[in-house]
């Protein structure tokens, strides 16, 4: 395995392809190096990059994510052991670039893929729409990839295709009361509620609506849930009190513990819901009318962004821009000349 700290991006890409073709891991001193892929998505400016940098122990200021960005992390499992590798993709722009999920979610990555959804608790009026659109986009791509993998398996009976089974068996024990009631996300999913310091200043009734709704969604998708000031803090005991930070590993909650949607100001009987998830959505949107999720693509031109400056390339780009403008002026003069002749 090449040294990731010094290789170029192209060398890293080549090494990853070779690793995938060889089965997703390499032998290092007789031990298998584990590689996993992690895909982060969520609310625009919701703290995804900050959480990622903390996870990687990188002490550097976070910058706005431009479209879809890739990074990696390496960590040893113990002393004098090979370092496991995490390929990490981060989607920027909130829901506006959800079509880019097709890049990190591929037949090669789903064997070891986990998804992290980060929702900005300080903006509850955009929370459900953001959650719904991003999960739908990711799930649609996952189902597409699963279908492609199954077709490839049928066409090549001898080929090995290890794909995760999107079933309750992945996280729920056989005796779990909600085993037949949930709809597990196709791959491991972690939902994080960010900006808890702002959220904890909300009215207690509104906090209860948000917290219980997140508990329901996480359990419905068989996902883990963290709603806490210190986002990466994991305690040994499960915390399901909606008045406190939430730490709920997948499969640790139940619908009976969650209860019905908080509806002090909403008549549930007047809501025409198709299923429990739709009922929770209608109640939530009565309390927090959702803003439009059709976010405009306000992404800056990366060629003009100082953080991506390259002296020689920028000088060449400026020269080509001048040549283009000169070409446009000459073309306009030629066109005027033809019009005068006619």
Q: Please give the average per-residue pLDDT across 199-222, as a whole number.
A: 93
9 in a domain, yes or no? no
Q: Please give the average per-residue pLDDT across 171-182, as a whole number.
A: 86
61 in a domain, yes or no? yes
26 in a domain, yes or no? no
pLDDT score of 65: 72
pLDDT tens column, 112-153: 899 999 999 999 999 999 999 999 999 999 999 988 888 777
Question: Percentage of residues in the chain with pLDDT exceeding 70?
Answer: 75
11 in a domain, yes or no? no
pLDDT tens column, 65-75: 778 888 888 77
Give backbone dihedrals phi and psi of 2, rounded to 5 degrees, phi first: -65, 160
Domains contained in the chain, number: 1
pLDDT score of 6: 43
CA-based nearest residue to 107, from 16, 20, 15, 185: 20
CA-based nearest residue to 172, from 251, 113, 278: 251
22 in a domain, yes or no? no
pLDDT score of 329: 81
Q: Where residue 225 falls among pLDDT bands split at 50, 70, 90?
A: very high
Domain limits at 90? 35-153+164-287
What integer best gives the mean pLDDT of the chain?
A: 79
333 in a domain, yes or no? no
Question: Percentage of residues in the chain with pLDDT exceeding 90?
Answer: 30
pLDDT score of 24: 46
How does strand 113-120 pair with strand 189-194?
parallel
Q: What share of the chain is helix, strand, coil (3-state, %, to 5)?
A: 40, 15, 45
- The helix/strand/coil state of 255 is helix
CATH code at position 233: 3.40.50.300
Q: Please give the average per-residue pLDDT across 315-320, as a whole number.
A: 85
pLDDT tens column, 233-275: 455 578 888 888 899 999 899 999 999 888 767 677 777 888 9
Q: Within 10 Å of residue 137's Cβ, how many Cβ atoms?
A: 20
Q: Which residue has the higher pLDDT, 138 or 59?
A: 138
121 in a domain, yes or no? yes
DSSP 148-160: HHHHHHHH-TTS-
Q: Where residue 85 falls among pLDDT bands split at 50, 70, 90?
A: confident
141 in a domain, yes or no? yes
pLDDT tens column, 3-27: 444 444 444 555 554 554 444 454 4
């Amino acid at each position: 395995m090449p040294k990731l700290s010094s290789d170029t991006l192209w060398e890293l890409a080549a090494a990853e392809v070779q690793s995938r073709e060889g089965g997703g891991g390499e032998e290092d001193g007789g031990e298998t190096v584990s590689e996993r892929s992690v895909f982060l998505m969520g609310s625009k400016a919701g703290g995804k990059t900050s959480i990622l940098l903390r996870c990687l122990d990188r002490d550097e200021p976070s910058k706005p994510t431009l479209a879809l960005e890739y990074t990696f992390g390496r960590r040893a499992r113990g002393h004098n052991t090979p370092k496991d590798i995490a390929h990490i993709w981060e989607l920027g722009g909130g829901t506006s670039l959800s079509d880019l999920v097709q890049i990190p979610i591929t037949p090669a990555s789903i064997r070891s893929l986990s998804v992290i959804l980060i929702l900005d608790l300080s903006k509850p009026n955009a929370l459900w729409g953001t959650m719904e659109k991003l999960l739908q986009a990711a799930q649609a791509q996952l189902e597409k990839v699963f279908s492609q993998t199954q077709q490839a398996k049928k066409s090549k009976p001898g080929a090995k295709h290890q794909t995760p089974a999107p079933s309750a068996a992945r996280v729920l024990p056989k005796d779990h009361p909600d085993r037949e009631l949930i709809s597990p996300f196709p791959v491991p999913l972690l939902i994080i509620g960010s900006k808890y310091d702002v959220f904890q200043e909300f009215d207690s009734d509104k906090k209860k609506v948000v917290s219980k709704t997140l508990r329901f969604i996480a359990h419905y998708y068989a996902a883990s849930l963290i709603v806490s000031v210190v986002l990466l803090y994991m305690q040994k005991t499960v915390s399901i009190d909606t008045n406190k930070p939430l730490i709920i590993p997948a499969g640790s909650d139940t619908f009976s513990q969650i209860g019905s949607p908080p509806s002090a100001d909403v008549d549930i009987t007047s809501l025409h819901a198709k299923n429990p998830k739709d009922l929770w959505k209608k109640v939530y949107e009565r309390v927090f009318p959702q803003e439009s999720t059709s976010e405009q693509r306000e992404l800056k031109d990366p060629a003009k962004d100082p953080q991506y400056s390259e002296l020689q390339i920028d000088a060449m780009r400026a020269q080509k821009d001048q040549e283009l403008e000169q070409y446009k002026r000459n073309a306009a003069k030629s066109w005027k000349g033809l019009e005068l002749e006619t």
